[in-house]
Amino acid sequence: MDALLSFVIAKYNYWVVVLLIMIGLYAMIAKNNLVKKIIGMNIFQTAIILFYISIGAKKGATIPITFGEHGPPVAAADFINPLPHVLMLTAIVVSVATLGVALALALKVFRQYGTLEEDDIHSQIRKE
Amino acid sequence: MTEHFPALIVVGPLLAGLLIAAAGWFNRKACFPMAGLTLLWVLWMCIGLTLRVVTSGSIDYHLGGWAPPWGIAYRVDFLNGIVLVVVALVAFLNLLASWNSVEREMADKAGAFYSLYVLFTTGLLGMVVTADAFNLYVLLEIASLTAYALLGMGDGRSALSGLHYVFMGTIGASFYLLGVGYIYLVTGTLNMADIAARLPALYSNGTVLLAFILCMTGLFIKMALLPLHMWLPNAYANAPSLSASLIAPLTTKVMLYVMIRIGLNLFSPSFTFEISGLAPAMVWVAVIAIVAGSVMALFQKRLKRMLAYIVVAEVGYMVGGFWLGNRAAVTGAILHIVNDAMMTLCVFLAAALIVHRLRTDNFSDLKGLFRKMPFTMAAFVVGGLSIIGVPPLCGFFSKWYLISGGIIAGHYGFVAALLLSSLINAVLFFRIIEIGYFEPLPGSDGHHHEPPAKMDEAPLGMLVPLWAAAGLLLVLGVYSGDIATRIIQFAIPEAIL
């Protein structure tokens, strides 16, 4: 039990990510409302962003700003890894853009069918 | 300037796409010529790059002069040079055909359409040319986001099916991103060559296998490999015809290229085909995709939906060919990327012309079409024959490589699936020909003295690109031996026999 507990606690960042991914996937698969699906999609993307952020972290390290040539020599262990964070700036932009496109399409669907519930939309399509 | 071509084929259309959107606010007549000139320039650069690769070997380009692994590298080699040309060519030909349709159906959105069109091409070209795993993700999303918008622009159900594509596409891209994260976790680098150098020492690590599986799963969703294909038929069949005829030939093919790139160059062939242990299962998945895709195409009652299911089956051809992992089959898979892009363009363009005239693509409305639109239908038949695999059209040669690869590997299930699918394709296309040629016109009583139908052909601006695509099927067929021995031959690592 102790071994299991320490296994869970030592890797808690991954467990959080797994949980968020599952919540996102569940919302995308099981929810009937299109906006709820879009929210699920966003949770899913955010989980992956958090995964990247967490792998850049180091215990006892500080923000990666060096003093240039005049400062003390740089010890990599003292600084968190900035690269995953920079990558995630791009990924955040991508996820915002995806959200925008998805909401625009949802708006178009709403104007066409007057509802965002998928069941209602499908029953309307079947009537056509 | 020629040394900057690898960057310019991405940066050029990226900036042009923004300029086109801005020009659309002032004068939407300017959008089409701007997009046309941009894509023509890109096509010229892609051909130039490929010729240089053929004469003097691979080209490495470091963006901003930053040497890899710190900077982002672009690379043109034997594998992607030819894919670049195909992407640029398909985008250009389809753009020429889009003018009449856009003018009639969404003239007020011309600026947005052409801007998205050029940006979509940017994303695909970038995905093909980049040698950086994360950069690939960003460009993948550029191509995906623009594709969602292009497909969702139409009337009817296009917005709903576009939204479903957004969900599936985002899951696929996110899986790929997660896979890249795992690779970064174990290697600490994102440059493909650098990753490839560091990975072999770590092949026994479970994280590497998981990274491989995550990347591949993401790509399988994006390329609509059965059973992950559910988004594709609706998205392509309900979309505006000219968006579908751009995206159907290119998205799946470029994703297949990325799969091959990752399987051959990021991970070594020995890992992909042996250590990962996935290869036998993947070939069988491909066999199921081929058979199920073809059979489902039989049950469709609309032309574009039928063609969309043929795309699903064709994805199976290339996935199966790649995972067989011998030289003939991988050659067939790469050659089929080129050929299938042209064939899909040809038939989807023909369908677009038919929809442009008839405003419908139900089978029951296609009666008498050979008399009404003889030139369109002739090109459609050429495309259909190529998909069936009739020599000397190009579809035959790549299928030949794939089948001989299947025989060399002793995988008769794959061979049988290919032959069955060719047979079903013959049924599918001859059924269209029968409806269009022999069934009586609506309104006539079926006797011999029916009035001759008036010819009502699509505009010349759409016919010319369609015929160019049909002609290229023949050209590619004639030169497929040269393409295989002078280009694709060098794209496959020597470890693959």
SS3 B132: strand
Residues B233 and B150: their CA atoms lie apart, in Å, by 15
Question: Could A45 and B170 be called an inter-chain contact, meaning their C-beta atoms sit closer than 8 Å?
Answer: yes
CA angle B78, B80, B82 (to 5 degrees): 80
Residues B328 and B489: their CA atoms lie apart, in Å, by 10
**Conformation bin of residue B281: beta by default, left when phi > 0, alpha when psi is -120 to 50:** alpha
CB B328 within 8 A of CB B407: no
Q: Could you state, in order of their start, the residue ranges of all structural domains in chain A? A: 2-127
Residues 6+ apart with CB under 8 A from B33: none
Half-sphere exposure of B366 (CA within 13 A, CB side): 26
Q: How many angstroms away from the CA of B383 is the closest CA of chain A?
A: 32
Please tell me the total number of residues recorded for chain B in this structure: 497
Question: Could B170 and A91 be called an inter-chain contact, meaning their C-beta atoms sit closer than 8 Å?
Answer: no
Q: How many angstroms away from the CA of A5 is the closest CA of chain B?
A: 22
Residue B60, Cβ density class (10 Å: 0-12 exposed, 13-18 middle, ≥19 buried):
middle
CB B149 within 8 A of CB A100: no
* pTM for this model (two decimals): 0.93
Chain A positions touching B138 (Cβ under 8 A) are 90, 94
CATH number of A2-127: 1.10.287.3510
Residues A127 and A113: their CA atoms lie apart, in Å, by 12
Which residue type sits at B127?
Answer: M
pLDDT in tens for each of the 497 residues of chain B?
A: 778 888 899 999 999 999 999 998 888 888 899 999 999 999 999 999 999 998 888 888 998 888 888 889 999 999 998 999 999 999 999 999 988 888 888 878 888 999 999 999 999 999 999 999 999 999 999 999 999 999 988 887 888 999 999 999 999 999 999 999 999 989 988 999 999 999 888 888 889 999 999 999 999 999 988 888 888 888 888 888 889 999 999 999 999 999 999 999 999 888 888 888 888 999 999 999 999 999 999 999 899 999 999 999 999 999 999 999 889 999 999 999 999 999 999 999 999 998 888 888 888 888 888 888 888 899 999 999 999 988 889 889 999 999 999 999 988 999 999 999 999 999 999 998 888 888 776 555 555 555 556 777 778 888 899 999 999 999 999 998 888 888 888 888 887 77
Question: Could A48 and B178 be called an inter-chain contact, meaning their C-beta atoms sit closer than 8 Å?
Answer: yes
Q: Is A90 on the interface with B (CB under 8 A)?
A: yes
CB B356 within 8 A of CB B242: no
CB B179 within 8 A of CB B287: no
B-interface mutation test, from A83, A95, A101, most B Cβ less than 10 A away: A101
Count the Cβ atoms, other than its own, within 10 Å of residue B157. 20
Residues B269 and B250: their CA atoms lie apart, in Å, by 25
Q: How many angstroms away from the CA of B374 is the closest CA of chain A?
A: 32
Chain B positions touching A37 (Cβ under 8 A) are 167
Chain B positions touching A90 (Cβ under 8 A) are 134, 138
Unique residue bearing structure tokens 């049950």: B299
Q: How many angstroms away from the CA of B149 is the closest CA of chain A?
A: 7
Q: Could you state, in order of their start, the residue ranges of all structural domains in chain B? A: 2-491
Nearest CB to A97: which of B145, B160, B174? B145
Nearest CB to A109: which of B137, B159, B171? B159
Residues B226 and B221: their CA atoms lie apart, in Å, by 9
Q: How many angstroms away from the CA of B10 is the closest CA of chain A?
A: 17
Q: Is A125 on the interface with B (CB under 8 A)?
A: yes
Residues B396 and B319: their CA atoms lie apart, in Å, by 17
Which residue type sits at A59?
Answer: K
Helix ranges restricted to H, chain A: 2-10, 12-30, 34-55, 82-113, 118-127
B178 → chain A, closest CA residue: A48
